Amino acid sequence: MSPVERSGHHAGRAALVALVGVVVLFVAIGVVTLSLKDRNSPDLQLGDQTFKAGRAATLAERIADTGPRLYADVSGRKDRDLILQHLGDDPETRWHAFLAAPIDKPRDCTWEWQPDERLFRAKCDPDLVAPADGAGLPQFKVTVIDGRVDVDLNAEARAQSSSTTTTTG
């Protein structure tokens, strides 16, 4: 027999330590997730900052035929449903994107295009109207790059975060 006696308790202790480590890891991930869930994406840098709507010429033609396009927000926050509107004949210019529902109204109270009146009316309140370009509503920056429409979903949030950043000299 060996002068050093074997102990069968090491395997049990190692498993317990590993289990505690895994539990601590999951708790830490949960705390980080909860603390970051309401942060603006410019701070978080996850996913795309822009929505690639498609080819400008094709979209402009569709909007001229059937009206502005409604896009549902697919982020976890679900608060940036938007309407993409094109005005005029040049598919490279006069693009507008804005929130799809009036401020302080439920998500399903979307702006509905009224082609005869050339304006939007709120689905939940026909007395609420908005102009064809969405002026006065929360806007998203739209650019046409190489014939494709890009909607910047976070331009305003980035501008706000950079204007609140201070430097010390």
pLDDT tens for 12-58 read 777 788 888 888 888 888 887 777 665 554 444 445 678 899 999 99
Q: What is the pLDDT of residues 2-13, one digit of tens each?
A: 666 666 566 677
Is residue 78 domain-shared with residue 36, that is, in the same domain? no
**The domain that contains 82 carries what CATH number?**
2.102.10.10
34 and 79 housed in the same domain: no
Same domain, 30 and 73: no
99 DSSP β-pair partners: 82
Q: How many domains does the chain have?
A: 2
**Strand locations in the chain, DSSP E?**
50-55, 69-71, 82-86, 95-99, 111-114, 119-122, 125-131, 139-145, 148-152
Q: Which residue has the higher pLDDT, 83 or 169?
A: 83
Chain segment 89-143, per-residue pLDDT in tens:
999 999 999 999 999 999 999 999 999 999 999 999 999 999 999 999 999 999 9
Interacting residues of 124 by C-beta distance below 8 A, sequence separation 6+? 105, 106, 108, 109
- The strand pairing partners of 147, in sequence order, are none
Lowest mean per-residue pLDDT among 33-37, 84-88, 134-138, 163-167: 163-167
| Higher-scoring residue by pLDDT: 69, 73 | 69
Q: Domain range holding 81?
A: 47-162
